[in-house]
Amino acid sequence: MKDGIHPKFYNNCKVFFNGEVVMEVGATVEELHVDVWSGSHPFFTGKSAFVDSAGRVEKFNRKFSGNYFQKGKKAKA
């Protein structure tokens, strides 16, 4: 390796999730602050987390309620 061209590497980089250290990894920074990690993600935990952002589910249900898909479509003969 050439001297002076590589960033400093930290073997004990602390990974923070919700203000707590959840693991240590090797990285080019001393600390990482993450929003999601394997210990909190539904895929890895098996727990379902439903987040309805700004009433999108209700908006979808209102738009496609009733016979929405039958409107304006004629059956092919």
Domain residue ranges of the chain, discontinuous segments joined by +: 1-48
Q: What ranges in 1-77 are assigned the alpha helix state H? A: 42-45, 56-63
The pTM is what? 0.50
Please answer whether residues 14 and 34 qualify as being in contact, where contact means their C-beta atoms are separated by less than 8 angstroms: no
What does the pLDDT look like over 15-64, one tens digit per residue? 998 888 999 999 999 999 988 887 877 777 777 655 556 677 777 788 88
CATH 4.10.80 fits 1-48, yes or no: yes
Q: Give the single-character DSSP code of 15.
A: E
